[in-house]
Amino acid sequence: MLFNSLQFLLFFIVVTLSYFSLKWQGRWILLLVASCYFYMVFKPAYFLILLLTIVIDYIAGIWIERTNGPARRWLLIISLISNIGILAFFKYLGFFTENVSLLFEKLQMPGVADEVMYQGNRLFIRVLRFFGQTDIKSFKENVISILPVGLSFHTFQAMSYTIEVYRGNQKAERHFGIYALYVMFYPQLVAGPIERPQNVLWQFHSYFKYDRENVKAGLMQMAFGLFKKLVIADRLAMLVDYAYGDPSAHNGLTLLAATFFYTFQIYCDFSGYSDVALGAARVMGFTLMENFRTPYIAQSVSEFWRRWHISLSTWFRDYLYIPLGGNRKGEVRQYLNMLIVFLASGLWHGPNWTYVIWGGLNGLYQILAVLRDKLLAKLGFSNAPSHKVTSSVHEKESPKSPVRVVVNTLITFVLIMLTWVFFRARSLSDAFIILKGIGTLSFGDQIRSPMNTTEMWFSVFLILFLLVKEYFYLTIPTRNTARFAILFAVITFATYLFGVFSSNQFIYFQF
């Protein structure tokens, strides 16, 4: 069920009104049933996969808490292998099979290469047919479209639970319905934020009274999230899809404009989803973690990653970077850990080398920045930005001159924008065509776009409006009821008037 649909609007109204009319015992049942329905609207058969992981991790959490000695570690490993195994099969079997087959071809073993492809494809098709996907003949047929929706998100959230129970930071949840709701809570089920059990499990045991301020703040956040998605993201997508659909047919200026637009499209699309998710939860009294904090004002790549997809960044920090040793085992190991984390982050996004390179570039940026700052420190320049993977976006740094702030922000923006080329391109060859086009562009070229001049300038205006709004008001004030009513009506009307209603799903649903 898409947030930008009439179906969701009706769903949200019915569920929310019913929620406030019930006592606690009825509320968790209502939310669990509603979340099951919300998920099954996409592909009902895949609910069995979600249910399987819920049962495994529910039992594993209780056993881990009860058990002492090495057995606890083995229970955690079994739980993690179960989760990662399901994710790996559905999302990465085709990618792994194709690359292993290609390796055998390079080794002059075509027979083995063909057998690997045949067996991998055969296994994939058999499993998909069990879940009703009878029309699939190969895992090459757009694997993203046949994935269980939100698989990477709820898998990581489930793993965070068993890891925190193992570490002793969270007591095992005995109430099966509440644990199932932890994994399936509909606002953040399919695209995050990826929550931690310490933040949300206790909330599902709580009884939240109707709070007018929460309702106003939640509705406003939802309204502006949909504005970002429908008015900004989906409008920018028109040029992006046009240019990236066949990059060899476009000049460098068109490709540059499309890449610039995509930089804001993906932000408005994903942060717009997060706004709707957080807002829908807040209306009912729940508080989910912040997922974005004005990432494009970052003055370094590391700061960008403390502001972008915060729930995923902190997940990799806490469950991969720090366990690998973080920065505690020497410089070389620190750089290697950084690279591993970002390569894993890239692969998490999708079974394609474009995502791996996107992650690798971000990791390389971080390593080079650390090396640069150490060199500057030796030369006597000490006012360098923080590149700690574990630092917070709220940490204060020494003040910088306005010129330096602007220069650092622009450099960071350009570096991040270039990585989005790999994230958006359909293949590595397309990505290199786009980069070559941008690198050899002529400002005498004209931008070729499906939008007319007025629409193009309106798109630029929307980007500037977004930047100004989020710089001065990260959240829209709602304390004054009259002001809330006016602003909510204006945003809703503007979304209806200027929105692009083409039923485009949110980009991160595919992950």
Q: Which two tokens stand for residue 332?
A: 């070389």
Q: Show Cβ contacts of residue 131 under 8 Å, excluding neighbours closer than 6 positions.
A: 43, 45, 46, 48, 49
Exposed e or buried b per residue across 199-222, where buried means at least 16 C-beta atoms within 10 angstroms of its C-beta: ebbebbeeeeeeeeebbbbbbbbb
Instruction: Tell me the one-letter amino acid at 204.
Output: F
Whether residue 34 contacts residue 1, with contact meaning beta carbons closer than 8 Å, is answered with: no
Q: Are the beta carbons of 150 and 173 closer than 8 angstroms?
A: no
- In total, the chain counts a number of residues equal to 511
Backbone angles phi, psi at 138, to 5 degrees: -160, 150
What ranges in 379-472 are assigned the alpha helix state H? 402-424, 428-439, 453-472
Phi, psi of 148 (to 5 degrees): -60, 125
| CA dist., res. 114 & res. 119, Å (int) | 9
Identify whether the C-beta of residue 448 lies closer than 8 Å to the C-beta of residue 291: no
Q: Which two tokens stand for residue 225?
A: 């999230």
Token representation of residue 386: 């923080």
Host H or E run for residue 71: helix 70-106
CB 466 within 8 A of CB 264: yes
Query: Is 349 a known active-site residue?
Result: yes
Given the residues 175, 349, 387, 394, the one annotated as active site: 349
Contact by Cβ (8 Å): 353, 428:
yes
The structure tokens listed for 158 are: 């489930």
CA-to-CA distance for 178 and 41, rounded, in angstroms?
A: 22
Separation between Cα atoms, residue 444 and residue 363, nearest integer Å: 35
Q: Please check whether residue 262 is in contact with residue 424, taking contact to mean a CB–CB distance below 8 angstroms.
A: yes
Cβ atoms of 312 and 348 closer than 8 Å? yes
| CA pair distance 17, 239, nearest whole angstrom | 40
Looking from the CA of 45 toward its CB, the CA atoms found within 13 Å total: 10
The catalytic residues are 349
